[in-house]
Amino acid sequence: MLDDLLAHPLVEEVCELRGTFGFMAFHGGGLEEATDVIAQQAALATGSSYYGIHQPASLKWHVPSHRIDPQHSETLSSFINHVDTVITIHGFGRQGFFTSLLLGGRNRGLATHVAQHLRTSLPAYNIVDDLGNIPADLAGQHMDNPVNRVRNYGVQIELPPRVRGASPLWWDWEGPHLTPHTQSLIDGLVRAVHTWNSSNSSTVPIAQ
Mean per-residue pLDDT, 107-111: 98
The helix-helix angle for 35-46 and 180-199 (nearest 10°) equals 40
How would residue 125 be classed by pLDDT, with cut points 50, 70 and 90?
very high
Bond from prior residue into 176 cis (ω within 30 degrees of 0) = yes
**HSE-up (13 A, CA, CB side) for residue 199:** 13
How would residue 109 be classed by pLDDT, with cut points 50, 70 and 90?
very high
Mean pLDDT of the chain: 94
Domain assignments of the chain as residue spans, ordered by start: 2-198
**Is the pLDDT reported for residue 206 higher than 50?**
no
| pLDDT (tens digit per residue) in 47-71 | 999 999 999 999 999 999 999 999 9
Looking at 79-177, which runs of residues are DSSP E strands? 85-91, 100-104, 126-128, 154-159
Q: How far apart are CA 113 and CA 195, in angstroms?
A: 9
How high is the pLDDT of residue 168?
85
pTM beyond 0.85: the answer is: yes
Task: State which CATH number among 3.40.630.100, 3.40.50.880, 3.40.50.720, 3.40.190.10 fits the domain covering 2-198.
Answer: 3.40.630.100
